[in-house]
């Protein structure tokens, strides 16, 4: 976390130094699939704003019904969400009195999202080619540190009469291929079978490479 804050501070300082002293500034807060978020934005011109975005949060979802994909074993999923990003918000209709809030966004995130999968189904299952009764499998999925981001939505910051506005964004965080580690909390499964199962899980979890992003919140400009 300290490394993330340090990167956030350095990027923010460089961005501020490159902008005119008279540039408008806004702060915002919201919530979405990346967790609770905090934004600090500045307007470059009518069509472009630059935004620093930080996210943190966690969630737990009981057995998602992934059994068919993960060798017949259902998993509870716990996510720890942590990310810091530098984003450019482009308003192609910036001069329009109606559509100026329409925004296309792109950026790069320092991504420390992690997901833990814990087997939640009792019974006899095949793990790495061997049958085991009531194994307790725990898988951890991590991603490369840097993740591109793209979204579309509405952001009235710097484009309204009032200093208070709202935003709504939908997009994708391109997290990259996950790296999966697997352990057996029950002590039943052999290391060889765990290694085989870990590779299978890594293949099955490839859909986490593209993390869906939806966020909504409020901003105040100064």
pLDDT at 64: 62
* pLDDT score at 36: 98
pTM of the model: 0.81
Q: Which helix (H) or strand (E) holds 5?
A: helix 2-18
Number of structural domains found in the chain: 1
Tell me the backbone φ, ψ of residue 189, rounded to 5 degrees: -90, 135
pLDDT of 2 strictly over 60? no
Rounded to an integer, what distance in angstroms lies between the CA atom of residue 201 and that of residue 179? 10
Contact criterion met (CB below 8 Å) for 87 and 54: no
pLDDT digits (tens, 9 = 90+) for 108-117: 999 999 999 8
pLDDT in tens, 119-151: 877 778 888 888 888 888 999 999 999 999 999
Q: In which domain, by residue range, is 18 found?
A: 2-221
Instruction: Count the residues in the chain.
Output: 222
CB 87 within 8 A of CB 50: yes
**Residue 11 binned pLDDT confidence (cut-offs 50, 70, 90):** very low
pLDDT tens-digit series, residues 151-175: 999 999 998 888 999 999 999 999 9
Phi, then psi, of 197 in degrees rounded to 5? -65, -35
- How far is the CA of 111 from the CAs of 31, 142, 203, 212, in angstroms? 17, 9, 21, 14
Least confident of 8-17, 63-72, 117-126: 8-17
Q: Confidence class of residue 42 from pLDDT cuts 50, 70 and 90?
A: very high
Q: Cα–Cα distances in Å, from 98 out to 17, 95, 127? A: 32, 9, 58
Computed on alpha carbons and rounded to an integer, the radius of gyration of the chain in Å comes to: 21
DSSP secondary structure letter of residue 31 = E
For residues 201 and 181, what is the distance between their CA atoms, to the nearest angstrom?
9
What's the mean pLDDT in 9-16? 48
Under a CB-based contact definition with an 8 Å cutoff, are residues 200 and 182 in contact?
no
CA distance 154 to 101: 5
What is the helix (H) or strand (E) element at residue 196, kind and residue range?
helix 191-204
Q: What is the CATH number of the domain that holds 207?
A: 2.40.160.170
């Amino acid at each position: 976390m300290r490394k993330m804050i340090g990167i956030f501070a350095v990027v923010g300082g460089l961005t501020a130094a490159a902008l005119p002293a008279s540039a408008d500034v806004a702060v915002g807060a919201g919530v979405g699939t990346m967790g609770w978020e905090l934004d600090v934005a500045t307007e470059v011109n009518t069509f472009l704003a630059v935004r620093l975005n930080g996210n943190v949060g966690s969630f737990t979802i009981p057995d998602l019904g992934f059994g068919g994909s993960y060798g017949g074993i259902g998993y509870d999923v716990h996510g720890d969400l942590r990310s810091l990003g530098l984003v450019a918000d482009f308003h192609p209709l910036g001069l329009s009195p109606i559509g100026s809030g329409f925004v296309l966004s792109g950026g790069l995130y320092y991504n420390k999202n992690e997901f833990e999968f814990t087997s939640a189904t009792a019974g006899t299952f095949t793990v790495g080619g061997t049958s085991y009764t009531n194994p307790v499998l725990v898988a951890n999925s991590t991603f490369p540190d840097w993740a591109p981001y793209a979204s579309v939505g509405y952001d009235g910051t710097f484009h309204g009469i009032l200093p208070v506005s709202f935003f709504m964004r939908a997009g994708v965080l391109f997290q990259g291929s996950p790296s999966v580690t697997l352990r057996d909390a029950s002590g039943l499964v052999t290391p060889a079978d765990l290694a085989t199962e870990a590779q299978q899980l890594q293949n099955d979890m490839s859909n986490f490479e593209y993390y869906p992003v939806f966020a909504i919140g409020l901003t105040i400009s100064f």
